[in-house]
Amino acid sequence: MSVSKTFLILSYYLLFALVMVTGCNLSTVGTTPLFKLMFSSSAEIDKMLVNYAHPDSGSVMTVSKDNETHRASTLFNGVTDSNLWDQGEGWKVDFSGRYNYGQYTGYGERAWVAGQAMREQSRLDMMQGRRSDREDSRINPKQFENNDYKTRGLSGIDTYGGDTASAMAWLVFEIPEKRLINRVIVHTIDSIKYPAKKYGVSDFIVQYWTLQAKGWQNVDRMGKKVGDQHDSIRNNTRGKITVRFRPIETTKIRIVIRLTNDSKRRKQGMARSEFLTGTVRLIEVEIYGLEKKPPA
């Protein structure tokens, strides 16, 4: 085999490895020299692709709560430097309340309606002085299908039927048309003054909207450890977290923040409900698929 042919084969193997590692689109080869592409960083490759978290793509972002001094609009301005946090860069959300980690978000597409029905039934039983019986529910889950889709599956009930959150914060990105998406990058705070292992987001999950079920489905995350059945990110201590997953077609992406590294839990009240306090600090969010940016 000639040296040139060997180099060509090796080049394609390297390119394939690059695609697998970065989630890059092979169609970028058509406009970028192969040699240059092989030695480009993932950040350089991302610049060739449409970022669906940015309004230029036509997407609209909604968040659980905004902050006047650390606005959510900074999450798509291209700035990932945590050293600018004290100057107002990044999004900040304080959480304080009853909490149930991940309730109704990890049990399939339709779990949220069942959860809402159970919640309403428990309240009804309490008002009527009846003992709550999950096997004897008289609430039709379908009546909740028109509720606000952004918050579906993000609340539950405690022993006495009170509200219990299952997320500290959330972000929803709505794209005008259905797109293929396979990667989300979350930048949480991480600097010498504010290290991620102390102040950053530790647990979160990426979900996509399924029109058929009128609900949210967890992405099928790639790179999970052997025996790890969870598609969420857990115990993170890094500033930049790249979530790669099997490609999905959707018009909506939701990022659910479950825990931060400064979160504190305690039991409260006679019901011993779990009470959580903590602060969500994000710097930037990026969402990518296979779509290239149009020529400048």
pLDDT digits (tens, 9 = 90+) for 24-61: 444 444 455 544 544 556 777 788 899 999 999 999 99
- What is the residue extent of each domain of the chain? 3-44, 50-99+165-289
- What pLDDT shows up at residue 13? 52
- What pLDDT shows up at residue 125? 65
- Topology, domain 50-99+165-289: Jelly Rolls (2.60.120)
Environment class of residue 24 by beta-carbon count within 10 Å: exposed (0-12), middle (13-18) or buried (19+)? Answer: buried
- What pLDDT shows up at residue 95? 96
Give a three-class secondary structure readout of the chain: CCHHHHHHHHHHHHHHHHHHHHCCCHHHHHCCCHHHHHCCCHHHHHCCECCCCCHHHCCEEEECCCCCCCCHHHHHCCCCCHHHHHHCCCEEEEEEEEECCCCCCCCCCCHHHHHHHHHHHHHHHHHCCCCCCHHHCCCCHHHHCCCCHHHCCCEEECCCCCEEECCCEEEEEEEEEEEEEEEEEEEECCCCCCCHHHHCEEEEEEEEEECCCCEEEECCECCCCCCCCCCCECCCCCCEEEEEEEEEEEEEEEEEEEEECCCEEEEECCCCEEEEEEEEEEEEEEEEECCECCCC
- What pLDDT shows up at residue 229? 60
- What pLDDT shows up at residue 106? 43
As averages over each run of 10 residues, the pLDDT of the chain (296 residues) reads: 52 51 46 50 79 96 96 96 98 92 52 61 65 58 63 69 81 96 97 98 94 82 72 94 95 96 81 81 96 84
